[in-house]
Structure 1
Amino acid sequence: MALLQCSFNSEALGISASMNVILPQGERRRPLKTLYLLHGLSDDHTIWCRRTSIERYADAYGIAVVMPAVNRSFYADMARGANYWTFVSEELPRLARSFFPLSERREDNFAAGLSMGGYGAFKLGLSHPDRYAAVASLSGAVDLNRLFADRFSEDLFDIVEDPASVPGSSLDLFALAERVAGRPGAPLLYQCCGTEDFLYEDNVRFREHCRKLGLPLTYEEEPGTHDWGYWDDKIQSVLAWLPLRDE
């Protein structure tokens, strides 16, 4: 595997942006299957490589991994900040494919993330089910409405002018799930959370919501907290779960 540290100009953000990319080495017959792997609120694009063995795990599957930096944006076009949703959902895939031999096919594209990144991965898949075959949330911040109500982070209040506008909007995973339900081509969903995690109850609510809607959700829980030991273990489960057919 090759690990590339990439800096590039982002028109969406108006700054020099960063991503780490893991690529399989050797000859290949076709463009690479790709996992967009998203970081949490207190992290950056380097964290997955520093705190897990993602490079070694990805090697076993021959998959490319793209890890962008999105600051503390909650993967949103911010009212007081930059357009991180436009960046991660539109500009990043386009630029990554121009730099590296990555597949454009829906069946070859996946997203996953932890905490804030779990929210971002589900937001990608539920907003663009035509682009992602499967998405995974590890200890995800899936209930943005509850986080606003509890003032979980002051960073949230940079996302929108009025938190009352969030329910039912494109920031609300519960609403996005309802829009996808019943339509053909919903992405596969994988959700996990430790039972001692402070986000556990939020994840249970979202699990039940998806089940009622009939979405294709795989859910796992076991003892665990909001920590890297748990995420290092579960990202291996995500890779094993992804529909990576041999060709």
Structure 2
Amino acid sequence: MALIQCDFHSEILGLSMSMNVILPQSAPSQIGMASSAGSAKLKTLLLLHGLSDDHSIWLRRTSIERYVAPLGIAVVMPAVHRSYYADMDKGMKYWTYISEELPAIARSFFPLSDRREDNFVAGLSMGGYGAFKLAFNFPERYAAAASLSGALDVRSFHDRFPADYNLIFGTHEKADALPNNVFLAAERLTASGKPVPKLFQCCGTEDFLYEHNTRFRDHALKLGLPLEYEEGPGEHEWGYWDANIQRVLNWLPL
């Protein structure tokens, strides 16, 4: 595998930003690790972080590099700070950045496919919300999306982090509107006639976000979305996510 940290300038944010990228390498001599690479443009997993983390966290807390080595896919892990993947009411346009600018920048640096069937998005907590937000608002771009312990109900974010909520959304009306409300975005998607991404959702039964996840699960199933849902013992912690990102990788339509 090749692991690259990219620092670059975002025109949308007016900031220097970072992302980590894992690229496949055909190197059968690597000790204790299978690897795979081809000559075509790469299938890509956009892997999103949670509220308190950054682009480095998946590499520091899980064995994601080892898990993807035999799959022959690229993994793009960007930083979005504490933005909730939103165009902030009092801050930067992180939604425009993550949905428009970041994919174009990544494809300009690396041989990543832009075909829908080759692109997937996943994340944990705030990143699980971001993954479903991208998939529901841009279903023509992603074949599959996975949320691990997703912070899917943005209204609940107000109760836990009111200062952040006010900076990001400003008002409940903005949080409840598209593109921020993934419940509403899911409804719009089912009525649109557009292709619907494959969906995976999991949450630990001891997680403080468990009820939010079951509420979204019930909403998605009522809408008839192709959601695969799993739950079991687990809290909001990295042991759970390290185990379940392996489940996601096995589930992806590669």
> TM-score under structure 1 normalisation?
0.96
1:151 Cα deviation from its structure 2 partner: 4.1
**RMSD across aligned positions (CA):** 1.1
Per the alignment, residue 13 of structure 2 pairs with: 13
Q: What SS is found at the alignment partner of 1:120?
A: helix
Q: Percent identity?
A: 65
1:159 Cα deviation from its structure 2 partner: 1.3
Q: What SS is found at the alignment partner of 1:4?
A: strand
Q: Does 1:156 align with 2:159?
A: no
Per the alignment, residue 29 of structure 2 pairs with: none
Is contact 1:224-1:230 (8 Å) kept? yes
| Alpha-carbon separation, structure 2, partners of 1:2 and 1:76 | 30
Per the alignment, residue 233 of structure 1 pairs with: 243
Q: Structure 2 vs 1, CA of residues 214 and 97 (structure 1 numbering), >3 Å: closer, same or farther?
A: same
Report the AA paired with residue 95 of structure 1.
I
Runs of 4+ in 1 over 3 A off after TM superposition: none
Q: Deviations over 1:173-210 (max 9, x none)?
A: 10000001142411111000000000000000000000
> TM-score under structure 2 normalisation?
0.93
Q: Provide the aligned length of Structure 1 versus Structure 2.
A: 243
Q: What SS is found at the alignment partner of 1:90?
A: helix
Report the AA paired with residue 90 of structure 2.
R
Alignment of 1:41-52 (within 5 A): 41-52=51-62
Per the alignment, residue 212 of structure 1 pairs with: 222
Is contact 1:177-1:210 (8 Å) kept? yes
| Alpha-carbon separation, structure 2, partners of 1:217 and 1:172 | 18
| Alpha-carbon separation, structure 2, partners of 1:95 and 1:186 | 25
Q: Does 1:39 align with 2:49?
A: yes
Is contact 1:157-1:163 (8 Å) kept? no
Report the AA paired with residue 53 of structure 1.
S
Report the AA paired with residue 160 of structure 1.
F
Per the alignment, residue 72 of structure 1 pairs with: 82
Extract unaligned runs of 5+ from structure 2: 27-36
